[in-house]
Amino acid sequence: MGLGSSDNEGLLASAIDQLNQRWDAAGMAWQDKAREDFEKEHIEEMRRAVKVAQQGMRNISELLRQVVKECS
């Protein structure tokens, strides 16, 4: 059986948590304008995209629950 959307949402949450932890650790050694720019251009965009994807997954899960309920 495949992963459900809540499982996938959990995997995504775990991945972004790992990214945040590693990014914070890298910040101990990399503290310049390039890091700041990279964070603004890439890391923050990824964080926003993950939040949008998670909301989309929740919406799809709810829609699927409604479909199953109405078609049962």
Sequence spans of domains, the chain: 5-71
| Residue 1 predicted with pLDDT over 90 | no
C-alpha distances out from residue 49 to 7, 11, 40, 54, 65, Å:
18, 15, 13, 9, 24
Res 40: pLDDT: 97
Distance, in Å, from the CA atom of 69 to the CA atom of 8, rounded to the nearest integer, reads 22
Region 40-63 average pLDDT: 95
What sign results for the dihedral spanned by CA atoms 59, 62, 57, 71? negative
Region 4-30 average pLDDT: 92
The values of phi and psi at residue 3, to 5°, are -75, 140
Region 28-54 average pLDDT: 96
What sign results for the dihedral spanned by CA atoms 66, 69, 70, 71? positive
